[in-house]
Structure 1
Amino acid sequence: SIQCRAPWSQDIYELFTPECKFKESVYENYYVIYSSMLYRQQESGRAWFLGLNKEGQVMKGNRVKKTKPAAHFLPKPLEVAMYREPSLHDVGETVPKAGVTPSKSTSASAIMNGGKPVNKSKTT
């Protein structure tokens, strides 16, 4: 049976068994599901999932399916950071071919100019 213990409890580490190991997966609706690393269905080999019923009690693993809301948990983000996804137009460097070292004549300004050589002697 699965026993939930408070994170501040001293006996968490003393009672850790293979039954306590779960695989955390992100389901297609961005909820998190937990499957047992130890137990599986005997006939089908389907994993047992952690689930809670309407009263908040742990359900039997062989009764919980990953598609049911009882097995879906909201992930708790540790840090929220918004990053802009780079586009191909923002990429300033070309990827060198394997085994080829860039020559000294190639400069960053030539690469940034769409590969056209830039005459550095002219000033505008």
Structure 2
Amino acid sequence: FSKYPQLKGIVTRLYCRQGYYLQMNPDGSLDGTKDDSSNSLLFNHIPVDFWVVAIQSVKKGLYIAMNGEGHLYTSELFMPECKFKESVFENYYVIYSSMLYRQQELGRAWFLGLNKDGQAMKGNRVKKIKPAAHFLPKPLEVAMYREQTCQQENQAHHIARPHLGHAQPRRAVLLLSDSPC
């Protein structure tokens, strides 16, 4: 462990202002649930840069990502599409925007969001001033991780993630990089 820089991650639940907790289903899809006791809504909130985070399911070990069309998906590998800028909005809710994608004409950011029915929304349809984009992180514990960076998928190296006590140990991904991404 001492060969790699350490960083702190936070095991958290993400409560959306729409009245749902963000959850990752067994098939890896994302949506909202009102059941606050489900272990499918526990996420590792991992800082990867200044005000930039990766969000990884504790149960599945998959990262939340956003593609170039604004669709949310999950990835076994940590890559640039898994990076979200974390901003505290004026009402103290947190908003998460894609670090890679935004509207081309206006330059408006694409946000993580849940609609009024708890369904994941396309990032380009979510506006930062709407409740769909507003999340309250509810931290449960702090955990130590090896530092993560991103690069091409073929240079990924898998490492064991420390057991967090409430889920089976899962695989985490350490991506070694000579250049920032």
Measured against the shorter chain, the TM-score band is 0.5 to 0.7
Aligned residue in 2 for 1:21: 83
- Name which of 28, 47, 53 aligns with 2:115: 53
Q: Which has the higher strand share?
A: 2
- Name which of 53, 58, 74 aligns with 1:7: 58
Indicate the SS of the match to 1:24: strand
Indicate the SS of the match to 1:45: coil
Q: Go from structure 1 to structure 2 and tell me whether the alpha carbon gap of 1:76 and 1:10 turns closer, same or farther (over 3 Å shift).
A: closer
Work out the CA distance in 2 between the residues paired with 1:48 and 1:11.
Answer: 21
Q: Go from structure 1 to structure 2 and tell me whether the alpha carbon gap of 1:74 and 1:10 turns closer, same or farther (over 3 Å shift).
A: closer
Indicate the SS of the match to 1:74: strand
| Percent of paired sites with the same residue | 78
How many residues are matched?
77
Q: Go from structure 1 to structure 2 and tell me whether the alpha carbon gap of 1:78 and 1:46 turns closer, same or farther (over 3 Å shift).
A: same
**Which deviates more from structure 2 when the two are superposed, residues 46-55 or residues 26-35?**
46-55
Supply the RMSD in Å over aligned alpha carbons.
Answer: 2.3
Structure of larger gyration radius: 1
Structure 2 residue runs of 5 or longer lacking an equivalent are: 1-28, 31-55, 64-74, 142-181
Equivalent position amino acid for 1:9 in 2: K
Q: Go from structure 1 to structure 2 and tell me whether the alpha carbon gap of 1:11 and 1:69 turns closer, same or farther (over 3 Å shift).
A: closer
1:21 is displaced (CA, Å) by 0.7
Work out the CA distance in 2 between the residues paired with 1:35 and 1:11.
Answer: 18
Equivalent position amino acid for 2:112 in 1: L
Work out the CA distance in 1 between the residues paired with 2:119 and 2:105.
Answer: 26
Runs of 4+ in 1 over 3 A off after TM superposition: 3-6, 10-14
Q: Go from structure 1 to structure 2 and tell me whether the alpha carbon gap of 1:49 and 1:11 turns closer, same or farther (over 3 Å shift).
A: closer
**Higher relative CO (CA 8 A, sep ≥ 6), structure 1 or 2?**
2
Q: Go from structure 1 to structure 2 and tell me whether the alpha carbon gap of 1:78 and 1:11 turns closer, same or farther (over 3 Å shift).
A: closer
